[in-house]
Each structure stands twice: as structure tokens, then as C-alpha cells.
A and B are shown apart, each in its own frame.
Chain A
Amino acid sequence: MKNPLESLQNTILLGLAITIVMALVVKYTF
């Protein structure tokens, strides 16, 4: 199976997904 990190597009999408999760954590923690 191809490592998901092999694909630069997947890398960017993962980065954006982390950004959204992180922003929601901050928004709803305080």
C-alpha cells in the first residue's frame, strides 16, 4: 500500500485538516 504521506496533495490536505481541528479546539475550549 502506498504511504499516504507519499502524495504532496494528501500532505497539504492533512495540514489543512489539522488546522481546522486545531481552530475548532481553540474556539470551543474557551
Chain B
Amino acid sequence: MDFLTDPYAVFLVRWFHIMSGIMWIGLLWYFNFVQIPNMPKIPDEQKPAISKVIAPAALFWFRWAALATIVFGLFQGWQLGWGRDALALGFTTGSAKMMMIGFGMWFGIIMAINVWFVIWPNQQKALGLVEVPAEDKPAAARMAMLFSRTNTMLSIPMMYSMIAGPHLM
């Protein structure tokens, strides 16, 4: 199994981690900075273009990119041998670098949990991908929006610590 920790394997996993992370956070920012704020400006008869076509496609890549980012990230932690120390926020090793990257890992894990267990189930209701009574849809849409916005907030310190861990500490 030595090939799994070969320097080139470590590089490949980092490459996949960063690419899937860009896809995830890129789509998160698309939702929060482009789609949600502009929905009220779209005439009602044109709204289905977003809610029936664009949003479901964006959500597909969004949630799978989130999962891929976490899987590649945790695997990278294992490859490099400090995954557990980082998840322990550096208290096991007394390392600021581990605490910094550990903050980023926990922010990312919380965000991925929000994606899969709050945003996605509520979006399925809001977009009509699963059958729910019409009066339940606004509450589901609001819940998805609030957690999406929470993730936008968390993405700022997440990315700070992801980059500061290796490059500032």
C-alpha cells in the first residue's frame, strides 16, 4: 500500500481536493451572490428556467463536489500522517499549524453536513423534486437559503485556515 503515500499520490489527491473544493465553493457563491439575490428580478413565467433546470443541475454538482472535497481532504490528512492531530486542533502536538488547518477541516465538515442533511433535503422540497404539500415549500426554501448563507459565512474562515495552515504558519 506504499503507493498510496507516494509523493505523487499525495499531489494527485491534493489536486483533486482543490478542484472539487473550487467546484463546491464556486457553486455555493453562485447561489448566494448570483442566483438567490436575482430571483426576485426574474418575471414569474421565466422563473422555472432557474428552478426547474439551472438550480437542480447546479445542486447536483454542488453536493457531490462537497462530498468529494471532504473525502479527498480526509484521505490527504491520512496520507500526510497528521489528519488526527489536525482534527484534534493541534492540542495533541502543540502545533499552531495543526490548529489552523484543523479549524478549516472542522468548518468544511460542518459545511458538508449542512449541504447533505439540511440544504439538499430542503431544496428537494422547495424545487418540487419530492412531493410535499404546497404550503410546506416556502419554509423549506427559507431553511435551505439560511443554511446556504451560513455556509457562505463559514467558507470565509474555512478558506483562511486552509490556506494559512500551510502558507502562513
B153 CB contact (under 8 Å) in A11, A25, A30:
A11
Given contacts A8-B149, A11-B153, contact A26 B96 (CB under 8 A): yes
Q: Are B37 and A8 in contact (CB under 8 A)?
A: yes
Q: Are B99 and A3 in contact (CB under 8 A)?
A: no
Which chain A residue lies CB-closest to B103?
A22
B157 CB contact (under 8 Å) in A15, A27, A29:
A15
B contact residues, total (Cβ < 8 Å): 23
Give the dominant DSSP class at A's interface.
Answer: helix
* CA gap between A30 and B152 in the complex, in Å: 29
* CA gap between A22 and B146 in the complex, in Å: 23
A28 CB to closest chain B CB (Å) equals 10
Would you give the 0/1 interface string for B37-81, flagging 1 where the beta carbon is closer than 8 Å to chain A?
100000000000000000000000000000000000000000000
